[in-house]
Amino acid sequence: MDGNNSVSDSVDGSDSDSRGLLTIYDCGAAQQPPSAQLLGTLESVDASAVVDPQPTGRIVKLREEAVLECQRADRYRII
């Protein structure tokens, strides 16, 4: 992931353990299809980013290169 990527984290309900749809875009403004979609939970963002809460999840706009790392089954973080 480079500094232009964004991640959308959508979950049903307010339970933080809910598995949702993680959608990864190369550039959210480009209006292109997502680069990837997977089921899981985004647990933390340790890279420089702007987190925009949404009614159904959140949008994470990266400000630097980062890696989406799988911590354990269906649990991810951005480092």
Domain boundaries, the chain: 6-78
pLDDT in tens, 2-30: 556 666 666 444 445 578 899 988 887 77
State whether residue 36 is helix, strand or coil: strand
For residue 4, give both structure tokens: 């232009």
What is the band of 53 on the pLDDT scale with cuts at 50, 70, 90? very high
Question: CA–CA separation, 35 vs 14, rounded Å?
Answer: 26
